[in-house]
Chain A
Amino acid sequence: MEQKLSNSEKRTAYILTLPAVCLVFAIILFPIFANIWISFKEVQLKDIRIPEPRAKEIVKTIPDEQNKIKIVYKLRNSSLLQEIRNVKFEDKFPDNFKPLNLDERCNFKKNKVKCDFKNWPAKYRENFEIIFEIKDSAKIDKKDLKSSKPRLSGDSDNILLNTNFTLKNFKKVIFENEFVDLLLTTFYYTFFGTVGSILFGILTAQMVNQKFYGRTFMRSVLLFPYVAPVVALAYTWELLLDPNSGTLNSLLVNFQILDTPINLLGQKYLDINILGFSFKLRLALTTVIIFEIWRYFPLAFLFILARLQAIPKDLYEAADVDGASPFQKFFKITLPQITAVISILFMIRFIWNFNKFEDVFLLTGGASGTRTLPINVYQQGFAISDIGMGSAVSIVIVLLLLLFMFFYFKLLGKRVDEN
């Protein structure tokens, strides 16, 4: 009896989870393998369209002959690269139509013209004409004729399915793509964005953890940047930072902090002189990182606040009795209590920032030194139209992330052992 029950339980469980598992498999796991497959192929954006036979129908009347009508089909192979085999053609006409000069490749049965065009090479074009005789020529509705569209079909190779593999993409990614610069930019963006958002998260959580009037309101306000749509925020910031009529620049100039406006999103380097040390700050990258911190510190804030509120109050009371200062309380009690949350946050934010595409794309489009790996995936795949390269870059992203996670867990495991 029990055996039977557990068997039926298993069966139900599989039935209940199957739809979700299938969908996730198809949309998330399958693409990962597909990515590996594509990254070893030379595929351009234009190759992924399967070659199609196409026809454009033009209806022409013949002067002086009212009862005849000429229909021209502009036939072509949509692909510039591949041939289409066994092209079949079919079109339907009204009952009173009869073809006069039917091509030998075609036949006419039951008001339908059916043709067999055999193979079309790449770039194939042909003007295919049929002249019809109409039994009662009273009314020919051109629109009506055009509305019955010809149907074409044919076989072609799918470039994605053949087995020609090459290492070219990876070679190009590493040797011709300013790879070191790309890695460094991505690393700066990810690392400083992560650290910054966690720091501000700690600050704000510590702040909101105190009692003051309007605290719940403050808590929801702090989460606004995180929940609002990125498109709206990015364009607002772009407007705010605009060098010509942006508010920030106007303010800075107005209060005489700056002499001339600076293009915070469009200038790659800014020379900075502090105490005789001069260095080049990557300005646009810094701005993008600040936006990233602004947008994502709420997540850190929320996690840390939840943890802070769970710290037992008597810990602080005991510290008060011992005469600990606020700083001592923070460093000796609060910080050790939140390290676990911080290490999880660091991992989550590092992974997500590493893959962040929208923010940089909307703010700078990857220009002026803000080209990160995800931006590069887009540029390679869609701007340069090299799908294979784009895939190779995304494989590099996955590998780097796996590497990061491996070392991170190793480090974390070590620290846990030590404690």
Chain B
Amino acid sequence: MKIKNILIYSIISSFFLLSLISIWKILVTLQGLKLENFNTQIIFILGFLFSFLNMFIRERLNFIVRFLFFALIFVYVDGFLINKLPIWYNIGIVFILYFFVSKTKKYNSKFLNNEHSTQLILFDFLTLFGIVLFSFVILFPFYMMLVTSFKTQIALLVNPLDFSIDFNQDLKNLFKSYFVIFTSYNFGKYILTSTIVSLGTVFITLIFAIPAAYAIARLNFFGKTFMSTSILIIYMFPAIVLVIPLYTVFSQLGLRNSISGLLIVYTATTLPVAIYMLQGYFKSIPKELEEAAILDKLSWFGIIIKIILPLSIPAISSVALYVFMIAWNEFLFSLMFLDNPNSFTLSRAIQYLSGDAETPRQYLMAGSVIVTLPVLFIFVYFEKYLVSGLTAGSVKG
């Protein structure tokens, strides 16, 4: 057994343990526990000692005993001796240690004699560390958004580290921010506008895109290749470049501050994506079905309605979900075209709300939760359809 490999393994694994415990400590601090340092050295030394010793005692003692032994020492030193922390903190630590010890199971002396063992260990621990870190970094802002919307202004200012939700208060108090933004800030209307605009965009886009996609997928005509390549180029085109001309033209036509103006722009910007996705799917439908229909003297319109549509329900629904999400999330055009609070969409309304420095943050966050929830819900629920579409490059942003 190479002592060098054991040392490297011990260092890497104790770094991993250190990062796990540090993240736990951050989470605990955010629940209102007073913790002022990470005690990095002590945790590192303990982790190192354990990993090192583990190599020698693993054959003699079974897993449970090793884990309990290690957990007890750890909790005693870190939890009671140094920080004097409550029991639930230490239970968390025990769980982390269980996870850690079970992950180190496979690194026995045979493994460490492997030629590339250090690289393998590094890869394994980096993966584990990456999973923990990325989940934390990504979920944390969402978690913060949700928790802040349940807090009061004073609680936010007094202790910005306190992320616990007090469930003992009555529901009306807990959801106060939501009540306020619906009653005094008119969010019901904004939700309605956003829904109308998004659903309208979906509807109009599909009506325009299905025939066009069918023509590109199936029919031969002059300019077909040009059209299918230009779809992609148009899709890449920057929205910010369109803003000024559209603003001037829309002001002169009186289309600003109107839902129809937004509908026109959203439809035009989502059309290329929709056509691109749909024509790809239409091409995969066997041609024989249509040939039979042509012999039956069915018109092109009939073919689309009777044959293509029923066969491509999954593709059409995933395009619809995308277009909905794009329209729902859209901000640039709603910022430019809407300046009358009566016609605001949700995104624009939240931005408008934040423009007033006096607006309490919990209202802003409650609004953010409201605008985020439908999208995340759609995404998680229909993930299977959506991910394949995402790789087709469909959500611009």
Interface of A with B (CB < 8 Å)?
6, 9-10, 12-17, 19-21, 23-24, 26-32, 34-35, 38, 43, 48-50, 158, 160, 203-204, 206-207, 210, 212, 216, 218-233, 235-237, 239-240, 245-247, 250-251, 254-256, 294-296, 299, 302-303, 306, 323, 325-327, 348, 351-352, 354-355, 357-358, 361-362, 374, 377-378, 381-382, 387, 390-391, 394, 397-398, 401
Contacts and interface: CB of A to CB of B under 8 A. Distances in A.
Interface stretch (B8-16, B56-64, B135-143): B135-143
Given A48-B251, A232-B368, A326-B123, 16 more contacts: A10-B220, A12-B215, A14-B221, A24-B234, A160-B248, A207-B131, A218-B135, A220-B379, A227-B395, A229-B346, A231-B371, A245-B160, A247-B30, A251-B29, A302-B391, A374-B238
Interface stretch (B69-77, B168-176, B205-213, B310-318): B205-213
B295 interface: no
B265 A27 contact: yes
Interface string B379-397: 1100100010011010111
Contacts of A247: 30, 144, 160-161, 163
A355 B141 contact: no
A306 B391 contact: yes
Closest 9 CB pairs of A and B: A27-B268, A232-B368, A355-B238, A34-B245, A31-B245, A16-B211, A13-B221, A20-B212, A325-B116
Interface stretch (B85-93, B181-189, B347-355): B347-355
Contacts of A160: 248, 252
Contact residues of B: prevailing secondary structure? helix
B214 interface: yes
Contact of A256 (B37, B220, B369): B37
A17 B269 contact: no
25 contacts: A17-B212, A21-B227, A23-B208, A31-B249, A49-B252, A158-B252, A160-B248, A207-B130, A207-B134, A221-B139, A224-B142, A227-B325, A229-B347, A235-B350, A236-B365, A239-B365, A245-B156, A247-B163, A299-B390, A302-B391, A362-B331, A374-B238, A377-B243, A381-B243, A387-B248
B219 interface: yes
A207 B241 contact: no
Interface string B221-240: 11010010000001011111
Range class of the B interface residue count: 35 or more
B130 to A, nearest CB: 5
A223 to B, nearest CB: 7
B5 interface: no
Contacts of B246: 27, 31
Contacts of B307: none
Given A27-B265, A326-B119, A38 B354 contact: no
A21 to B, nearest CB: 7
Contact of A229 (B215, B236, B271, B371): B371
Contacts of B395: 226-227, 299
A204 to B, nearest CB: 6
B145 A232 contact: yes
- Among A15, A17, A32, max chain B CB count under 10 A is at A17
Given A222-B138, A232-B369, A245-B157, A23 B379 contact: no
A397 B238 contact: yes
B245 A351 contact: no
B275 interface: yes
Interface of B: 26, 29-30, 35-38, 115-116, 119-120, 122-123, 126-127, 130-131, 134-135, 137-139, 141-142, 144-145, 148, 156-157, 160-161, 163, 208-209, 211-212, 214-216, 219-222, 224, 227, 234, 236-249, 251-252, 264-265, 267-269, 271-272, 275, 300, 325, 328-329, 331-332, 335-336, 346-347, 350-351, 354, 361, 364-365, 367-369, 371-372, 375-376, 379-380, 383, 387, 390-391, 393, 395-397
- Among A23, A352, A391, max chain B CB count under 10 A is at A23
Contact of A20 (B36, B38, B160, B275): B275
Contacts of B135: 218, 221
Contacts of A10: 219-222
- Among B138, B157, B267, max chain A CB count under 10 A is at B138
B267 to A, nearest CB: 6
A229 B212 contact: no
Contacts of A303: 391
Nearest to B135: A221
Nearest to A50: B252
Contacts of B35: 254-255
- Among A158, A160, A296, max chain B CB count under 10 A is at A160
Contacts of A323: 115
B242 A32 contact: yes
B28 to A, nearest CB: 12
Nearest to A204: B134
A230 to B, nearest CB: 6
Given A222-B134, A235-B350, A239-B144, A391 B375 contact: no
A43 B346 CA distance: 32
A255 B128 CA distance: 25
- Among B211, B248, B336, B369, max chain A CB count under 10 A is at B248
Contacts of B115: 323, 325
A245 B160 CA distance: 6
A309 to B, nearest CB: 10
Contacts of A227: 325, 329, 375-376, 379, 395
Given A13-B221, A224-B376, A23 B267 contact: yes
A381 B300 contact: no
Nearest to A32: B241
- Among A24, A43, A295, max chain B CB count under 10 A is at A24
A20 B346 CA distance: 28
A357 B30 contact: no
Contact of B248 (A38, A230, A362, A378): A38
A379 to B, nearest CB: 12
A30 B349 CA distance: 29
A229 B160 contact: no
A236 B368 contact: yes
A350 B297 CA distance: 50
Contacts of B36: 254-256
B37 A255 contact: yes
A19 B208 contact: yes
B116 A31 contact: no
Contacts of A219: 387
A49 B212 CA distance: 36
Contact of B271 (A6, A23, A381, A390): A23
Contacts of B139: 221, 224
Contacts of B123: 326
Contact of B331 (A6, A48, A229): A229
Contacts of A220: 379-380, 383
Contact of A240 (B141, B220, B300, B367): B141
Given A27-B269, A231-B347, A325-B119, A398 B221 contact: no
Nearest to A33: B245
